[in-house]
Chains A and B, each alone.
Chain A
């Protein structure tokens, strides 16, 4: 059999009929997203058998939570603090956003454990580890500004506490104060997410290029 191009979704190896013949119609339909545009060329089609473990899904689920946070965050920002603080639907959306952040860090920690335990940070993959670490650390900062942007009592208290702790120091040349709600919200919805997205894309690109790490 000729060597197929893994990005060629029309090949006899990765085409729909081949997949139906291999694993049945249900699975073939369910995984079509990984074989058709716009994602078809982005995903590798195979992985080592040892990596067919749920542990290896944790990074992907973390990214899924990032997407969920982005979508729910856009809705929250669009409709504003009055909506998310007073409307039942707004409160539910804010609650969902809050739990997605919890899930983001939960799955990120599991992903971190998997990468460390399987030694997937070694050699040329260190850069991917460093980018992932930057995502974790910046994610914690994003979380702080999300807390400050909520507009409840905790936002008030933590903004002043973190102001006393960090921002009355001259690190930011006294230009910024976490007690400034406008700045907090802008940083949370626009500044840090853009940097996070860039880092995540770099991380994913490296994972795509380098493949899954060999066994220890």
Chain B
């Protein structure tokens, strides 16, 4: 990046045609710091313009009320699964501050709002709590099977989306469900009115949005939306954004591991594969003989180093000396 000097070279300056160590000009020149403020300004303006005109991913967040209004059958299914212990959130119940999903998402909020819900909700809750755990599970599992009978079959050949029960038919179900339907339908009312979201936010104020997000993932809609937008595991979702064309492309390596590698889709497999690649990157590439000399064999530095343009004179070294470390290394190599 040094400038061409038209005048004859002063002492210590050598013409560009003179061969240097390794074919490169190792002489020090004044570093072209003057370009840095210009680069910084150009990048800042570019980022500002991109921020204004390209924006960033901002797909509106889901809420319990909106999700339940769009798919009340899915909400009923999720609440029943909470009671049966088969929801996705069953895996989260050991996290700090949480607990059994049936308590957190169904009996807890229904109990809190029981005086306002009216009808037989308080009695249903009392009956449910008085029953042994095995009976509670049997009611919930029985109701789950009944919900399955009013759930449309998934379309053949389509993506693996979960179907929701038809909420309009939920009153037609008959069986030994105990108080479960009353609790589930009361909770659906709370969800539709936005009260469940408020309850979950107020219950754990130190866990902002925590419980809300966990329940939304129990509802089939979130995963269905992810499938529809190509964001799941087998759709390279890791490098994509919803409703936005530019995603985190730099996650391509973990994405390959996640999609293609054995057990890469599991937590442990994903961590171990990534750890292996990190170790290869940090230790094998720079340290293992043969591999560490690969760039030297490929002579890639020819594409990177600055070479004089035809007729260019190399300016003198302002310090008239090499960097001490570089000087020492060149001396060790017999190049200086």
Contact = CB atoms under 8 A, between A and B. Distances in A.
A47 B28 contact: yes
A70 interface: no
A187 interface: no
Interface stretch (A188-196, A197-205, A208-216): A208-216
Contacts of B24: 48-50, 215
A48 B296 contact: no
A211 B1 contact: no
A31 B33 contact: yes
Given A26-B34, A129-B282, A169-B268, A181 B27 contact: no
Contacts of B271: 166, 169, 171
Interface in B18-39: 21-39
B326 A46 contact: no
Given A13-B319, A48-B25, A160 B250 contact: no
Contact of B34 (A30, A169, A214): A30
Contact of B47 (A100, A105, A171, A182): A100
Nearest to B96: A175
Contact of B318 (A45, A105, A126): A45
A1 B321 CA distance: 11
A215 B307 CA distance: 13
Interface string B50-61: 111011111111
B216 interface: yes
Contacts of B333: 214
A211 B326 contact: yes
A55 interface: yes
B84 interface: no
Contacts of B299: 216
Given A98-B57, A156-B61, A174 B206 contact: no
Interface in B197-235: 206-210, 213-214, 216-217, 222, 225-226, 231
Contact of B31 (A4, A47, A126, A163): A47
Contact of A118 (B30, B36, B210, B304): B304
Contacts of A56: 304
A46 B226 contact: no
Interface of B: 1-3, 21-40, 43-44, 47-48, 50-52, 54-62, 88, 91-92, 94-96, 98, 206-210, 213-214, 216-217, 222, 225-226, 231, 237, 241-242, 246, 248-251, 254, 265-268, 270-271, 278, 281-282, 285-287, 292-293, 295-296, 298-301, 303-308, 314-315, 317-326, 329-330, 333
Across chains A and B, which 8 residue pairs bring their CB atoms closest together, nearest first?
A96-B51, A30-B34, A98-B56, A95-B51, A31-B33, A117-B300, A49-B25, A160-B217
27 contacts: A4-B319, A23-B30, A30-B34, A33-B37, A34-B36, A45-B31, A45-B319, A46-B28, A46-B30, A48-B29, A48-B322, A49-B26, A52-B1, A52-B2, A96-B51, A98-B57, A116-B295, A117-B303, A118-B295, A119-B295, A160-B216, A169-B268, A175-B95, A177-B210, A179-B209, A180-B207, A181-B209
Given A48-B28, A114-B304, A156-B222, 5 more contacts: A49-B2, A182-B207, A214-B333, A215-B21, A216-B296
